[in-house]
Amino acid sequence: MSPALLGWLERPPSGTALVDVRAGRSWTYAELAAEVLRRAAAIAGRRKSLVACLCRTDAQSAIAYLGAMAAGHAVMMLDGTAERDTIGRLLDLYQAEFLLDGEGCERLRVSNGPIDDELALLLSTSGSTGSPKYVRLSRHNLDANAAQIVQILDIDGGERAVQALPLHYSYGLSVLNSHLLAGASVVFPGAGLVRPRFWEAMREHACTSLAGVPYTYAILARIGFEHTALPDLRTLTQAGGRMEPETVLHFGRHMIERGGRLVVMYGQTEATARIAYVPPDRVLDKPDRVGVAVPGGRLSLADDGELLYEGPNVMLGYAWRRADLAAGHVNGGRLATGDLAGVDDEGFYSIVGRKRRVAKLSGQRVNLDELEILLMGHGRVAALELSGRLVLVRAAGATTPGRELSRHAGDLIRLPTRLIRVLDVDRLPLTSTGKTDYGTLADELAASDD
Amino acid sequence: MSSAQDGPDFDQLLSEAFTAGLDLPADTDVTTLAFGEHRHWDSLGHMSLVLALEQTFGVSLGDEDVLEIGSYASAAAVLRSKDRAGS
């Protein structure tokens, strides 16, 4: 039986739970518990509702999320910086009863359809903010994965994490959840990594850990992180995509020099957040691995090389609309990751490719099939990744100007349009079943580039 | 020889670097922009902006410059100081 994520509501540990630097406020666990229960009471109801939470990287967003969880409702995490239209469409599609925005709380509609008893959280998997596809997670999933993370990172009450990643992103949320489970502190710095205030906040609040995606490390290398005084920093974690082994080695060695460690992890929203990790004492001799399964989980390979994971943190299933929230478990604790992997003689796994068409663009995972569907209003478009760029290919005769198509795609997946190319071809090659033939298309594009 | 940092086209060049670096429509008033106040100017956009500034002005920005730039005005000040320093 894993400890419960909200266990501190009844028995708050001593010490600080949250610090919000911009707001100039902090909350002890006792203060946080009182505030969370007050927020929960405002949306309490006999029927289980869907509560949409607009996430910004601040303490009020975290408190809103915790309040909705404490009320026993299902919570949908939305990117608070997304376009209003995008948010409105999702609220309609999922018929959310409440919308929490910072300290604000709005009742959107009366109860609107059954929600499974176990469902606690909806998280988006894709970089496309408009995508209707969400992962359904239970309280058991959240409790289990937070406990797994506490164990692999050895988080105790003395830890203070700086929250540099968004709360609507599974990795970002896992930082908050695991630290609250351990009775540790989370500091919202109120500024981005490239602002001096971020680093001042880390120093002033004695932060011991920083979680980053590969892009974070590219920024750290550019702003002279190695020479930045951070006397309390002990742990850097990295997840959210493959990082170059040279970069892993560089930061792995640097953290050892600082008397700390780099922990490389692997995960998916479909497994709440984390699936595997490289024990930090092995990071220098296994810089290209995703490592071993988190405690209580098990990794294996399917016949075709696909990485399979079993564990208590595997999602209930997906959702595309309100009606899906009534569904229960569909996975039986097993997840086909969609990643192709290999395993070495010590049982360390490495990812060698993707089974599905997912591109990593500018650090974000973009499901190319989903993007094509979202762009269907402009006619048939084939999306593919070529040398770090998103290429949108369409058959001659398309009416939308290329610039407009590229801006729309850029807005959907938050990609600068300079990384998007729109190409018009005579015709899109098709397979015998009428699907786009991406292999042939990529070959044709490569040939015409010469 | 007059360099870009003190030529009459300084503001024009700086505006173009902002538009390109932050991927903004050409008619955006960039002179009032500050980090975090436009959707495109997040940490990711910042790195792209820094690259555009380096390319446009032919300078190399150090660690501290990257952190110093937080608005159109501070970017202008950093680039002008590069010129005075003769870099």
Q: Break chain A into its structural domains and give their ranges.
A: 7-353, 358-449
Residue B2 lies in a domain: no
Name which of A216-225, A231-240, A399-408 the model is least confident about: A399-408
- Per-residue pLDDT for B5 more than 70? no
**Angle A4-A213-A414 from CA coordinates, rounded to 5°:** 105
Kindly list the residues from chain B whose CB atom is less than 8 angstroms away from the CB atom of residue A222: 47, 50, 63, 66
Is some CB atom of chain B closer than 8 A to the CB atom of A224? yes
pLDDT the model gives residue B6: 60
Architecture of domain A7-353: 3-Layer(aba) Sandwich (3.40)
pLDDT the model gives residue B19: 93
Residue B5 lies in a domain: no
Name which of A127-131, A266-270, A357-361, A378-382 the model is least confident about: A127-131
Which amino acid would we find at residue A138? S
CATH number, span A358-449: 3.30.300.30
Average pLDDT for residues B39-48, to the nearest whole number?
88
What are the φ and ψ backbone dihedral angles of A309, each rounded to 5 degrees? Answer: -130, 140
**Of B23, B42, B70, which has the smallest distance from its Cβ to A418's Cβ?**
B23
What is the pLDDT of chain A when averaged over all its residues? 92
Query: 3-state class of A109 per DSSP?
Result: coil
pLDDT digits (tens, 9 = 90+) for B46-86: 998 999 999 999 999 999 999 999 999 999 999 999 876 55
Higher pLDDT, A365 or A206: A206
pLDDT the model gives residue B8: 67
Kindly list the residues from chain A whose CB atom is less than 8 angstroms away from the CB atom of residue B42: 192
C-alpha span between A79 and B15 (Å, rounded): 29
Residue A354 pLDDT grade (very low, low, confident, very high; cuts 50, 70, 90): confident
Share of chain A above pLDDT 90, in %: 72
So what's the ipTM on this one? 0.80
Kindly list the residues from chain A whose CB atom is less than 8 angstroms away from the CB atom of residue B40: 416
pLDDT digits (tens, 9 = 90+) for A363-404: 777 888 888 888 888 888 999 988 778 999 998 778 888 889
pLDDT digits (tens, 9 = 90+) for A271-324: 999 999 999 999 999 999 999 999 999 999 998 889 999 999 999 999 999 999
- In DSSP notation, A135-168 reads EEEEHHHHHHHHHHHHHHHT--TT-EEE--S-TT
CATH number of the domain enclosing B67: 1.10.1200.10
CB atoms B43 and A418 under 8 Å: no
Is some CB atom of chain B closer than 8 A to the CB atom of A218? yes
Handedness of CA A424, A430, A434, A435 (dihedral sign): negative
In terms of DSSP H, where are the helices of A71-131? Answer: 84-94
pLDDT digits (tens, 9 = 90+) for A135-184: 999 999 999 999 999 999 999 999 999 999 999 999 999 999 999 999 99
Q: How far does the CA of residue A55 sit from the closest CA of chain B (Å)?
A: 15
**Of B20, B62, B67, which has the smallest distance from its Cβ to A194's Cβ?**
B67
CA distances A281 to A235, A245, A246, A256, A296, Å, are 13, 15, 17, 10, 21
pLDDT the model gives residue A412: 86
CB atoms B23 and A81 under 8 Å: no
Structure token digits, residue A348: 């360390």
Is some CB atom of chain A closer than 8 A to the CB atom of B7? no
> What total of structural domains would you count in chain B?
1
pLDDT the model gives residue A62: 98
- Per-residue pLDDT for A121 more than 50? yes
Contact A343, A334 (CB under 8 A): no
Mutation site for B-interface testing, chosen from A223, A362, A406 by largest number of B Cβ within 10 Å: A223
CB proximity under 8 Å: B 18-77 to A:
20, 23, 35-36, 39-40, 42-48, 50, 62-64, 66-68, 70
Residue B3 lies in a domain: no
Is some CB atom of chain A closer than 8 A to the CB atom of B11? no
- Per-residue pLDDT for A450 more than 60? no
pLDDT the model gives residue A437: 80
Which amino acid would we find at residue A150? V
pLDDT the model gives residue A237: 98
Burial class for B2, CB neighbours closer than 10 Å (0-12, 13-18, 19+): exposed
**Of A191, A216, A416, which has the smallest distance from its Cβ to B23's Cβ?**
A416
pLDDT the model gives residue A332: 85
Cβ contacts of A73 within 8 Å, gap of 6 or more: A43, A45, A48, A49, A50, A51, A98
pLDDT the model gives residue B2: 45
Q: How far does the CA of residue B67 sit from the closest CA of chain A (Å)?
A: 5
- Per-residue pLDDT for A128 more than 70? no
Contact A297, A341 (CB under 8 A): no
Residue B40 pLDDT grade (very low, low, confident, very high; cuts 50, 70, 90): confident
Domain containing B76 equals 10-84
Mutation site for A-interface testing, chosen from B27, B28, B47 by largest number of A Cβ within 10 Å: B47
Region for residue A184 given its phi and psi (left: phi exceeds 0; alpha: psi -120 to 50; beta: otherwise): beta
pLDDT the model gives residue A2: 41
pLDDT digits (tens, 9 = 90+) for A3-13: 589 999 999 99
C-alpha span between B68 and A41 (Å, rounded): 44
Kindly list the residues from chain B whose CB atom is less than 8 angstroms away from the CB atom of residue A192: 35-36, 42-43, 46
pLDDT the model gives residue A447: 78
- Per-residue pLDDT for B1 more than 80? no
CB atoms A195 and B44 under 8 Å: no
Residue B1 lies in a domain: no
Residue A30 pLDDT grade (very low, low, confident, very high; cuts 50, 70, 90): very high
